[in-house]
């Protein structure tokens, strides 16, 4: 008697993250969709080569868990090391401009907030805002930055609770 073939896992949904900066630069990243609702998409992206982001070392294979909301003026990248440790939480001030089944477009408004597991929090790249930036957009960026800082503990707790197995600073296989 032949054994029954094992059921294969459902195919992973793919999405292309398209980031457009204030300077017009466009970056594209092929991602897996980890979760999706009417107001949120969570994507996974493996960093192919080691890199350093504002003093945070991201080894090759680091998992980026990206949280994008249609109703928040920021997104979040939770960087998880291949061994499952949280490396940092990196918030980008910006907004989702288009979200379809296969496309996630967002506008990067330059200012970022970096929070590391040792408790350090840094606001980054405020100097990249153009001097002639529309005053209303500048206020939007500043209000988004202030919201991230005010909600930071809750946002990090939520991200850690939703992290793939082995993340959130605990040893484990990673995702």
At 32-70, the pLDDT tens digits run 999 999 899 999 999 999 999 999 999 999 999 999 999
Read off the pTM: 0.88
Q: Domain range for residue 123?
A: 14-162
36: in domain: yes
Is the CB of residue 112 less than 8 Å from the CB of residue 79? no
Determine the Cα–Cα distance for residues 19 and 155; give it in Å rounded to an integer. Answer: 22
Average pLDDT, rounded, for the chain: 90
3: in domain: no
170: in domain: no
* Res 83 pLDDT > 80: yes
Provide the domain count of the chain: 1
CATH code of the domain covering residue 63: 2.40.380.10
167: in domain: no
1: in domain: no
Determine the Cα–Cα distance for residues 167 and 81; give it in Å rounded to an integer. Answer: 8
66: in domain: yes
Task: Name which of 74, 79, 54 is nearest 64 in CA terms.
Answer: 79
Model pLDDT for residues 86-116, shown as the tens digit of each residue: 999 999 999 999 999 999 999 999 999 999 9
């Amino acid at each position: 008697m032949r054994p029954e073939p094992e059921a294969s896992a459902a195919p992973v949904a793919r999405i292309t993250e398209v980031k457009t900066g204030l300077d017009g630069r466009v970056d594209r990243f092929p991602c897996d969709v980890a979760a999706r609702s009417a107001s949120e998409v969570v994507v996974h992206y493996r960093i192919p080569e080691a890199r350093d982001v504002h003093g945070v070392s991201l080894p090759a294979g680091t998992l980026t868990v990206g949280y994008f909301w249609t109703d928040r003026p920021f997104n979040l990248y939770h960087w998880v090391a291949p061994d499952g440790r949280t490396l940092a939480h990196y918030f980008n001030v910006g907004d989702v401009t288009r979200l379809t089944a296969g496309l996630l477009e967002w506008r990067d408004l330059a200012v970022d907030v970096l929070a590391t597991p040792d408790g350090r929090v840094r606001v980054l790249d405020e100097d990249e805002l153009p001097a002639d930036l529309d005053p209303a957009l500048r206020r939007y960026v500043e209000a988004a930055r202030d919201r991230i800082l005010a909600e930071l503990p809750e946002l990090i707790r939520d991200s850690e609770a939703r992290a793939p197995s082995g993340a959130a600073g605990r040893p484990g296989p990673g995702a």
